[in-house]
Amino acid sequence: MRISIVTDSTCDLSEPLIQKYRITVLPLYVTLGDQSYQDGINITSSDIFRYVEQNGNLPKTAAISVAAYADCFRALAKDADAVLCITLGSGFSSCCQNARIAAADFENVYVVDSCNLSTGHGHVVLQACEHQNDFSDAASLADFLSTQIVPKVDASFIIDRLDYLHKGGRCSAVAALGANMLKLKPCIEVRNGKMAVGKKYRGQFTHCVSQYIKDRLHDTADIDPHRIFITHAQASDDALSAAKDTVAQCANFSEVFETQAGSTIASHCGPNTLGILYLHK
């Protein structure tokens, strides 16, 4: 059975991985002022950060429409036995809801809620690509992803600046000011399909990155050693170097991928954000 796999731009997978597995990627929309752009096509995280620096306001992001999903499913269904769509977590966007509405008009289109974002979402997409030949039908593959992969994704980020969270209404002005004065760098975790604040680190960002990774990877017996993503929004060279070195010290992953957050994810976290994303056994 030939299954076409489609996802959205928030998966933050690199172009080589997208090309390797022939993944169809639909863009979310980002609006700067009165101009709308397509994530990953005609806007980058650099554009986002420049706009915020100049205007003081965050961009607006919008989900993929029902019509856009339907058009995509219709095109892919012409050359495939089934279509499997893996979306940004339903706790973060209406993408999943819109995809399911569109899929209702097709006989062999299945939608999986990744319950995650960025390369946490990307992990589910790659698992779909790698396991699609293990199942006789797309429904079984979708069930496998939802029950056996989605619950095992570990996604977290450490954030250098809190002004983006504050502007986005996810952090009070008092909390942001206090954290900045104390040089606190919070870890943001995905728990049960939603963002939550984890441990707070204090000091220079590079030092905090190393400690954050040591904390996340302390129990290697429970970690799937196949693949890890180091995903960042224009993190400094020092922070990236510290991240790679610390991952290598803590665990022996077969594949270590560095990817950059797209403009949708960057709009909500700000520059010099870095995370590690992997699977549990």
d(CA 100, CA 269): 28
d(CA 84, CA 191): 24
Task: With cut-offs at 50, 70 and 90, classify the pLDDT of residue 24.
Answer: very high
Residue 171, pLDDT score: 44
Which CATH number among 3.40.50.300, 3.30.1330.30, 3.30.1180.10, 3.30.1330.10 corresponds to the domain 153-280?
Answer: 3.30.1180.10
For 96, the enclosing helix (H) or strand (E) is helix 95-103
Residue 235, pLDDT score: 93
Q: Stretch 61-78: mean pLDDT, rounded?
A: 96
Q: Stretch 9-37: mean pLDDT, rounded?
A: 95
- What percent of the chain has pLDDT above 90? 76
One fold for both 3-151 and 153-280? Answer: no
Instruction: Give CA separation, 239 vs 95, 112, 169, 230, 231, in Å.
Output: 32, 33, 27, 11, 12
**Environment class of 138 (CB within 10 Å of its CB; exposed 0-12, middle 13-18, buried 19+):** buried
The pair of structure tokens assigned to 60 is: 């607006």
Cβ atoms of 112 and 150 closer than 8 Å: yes
Q: What's the whole-model pTM score?
A: 0.93
- What is the tens place of the pLDDT at every residue in 130-189? 999 999 999 999 999 999 999 999 999 999 877 766 554 444 333 443 445 446 788 989
CATH number of the structural domain 3-151: 3.40.50.10170
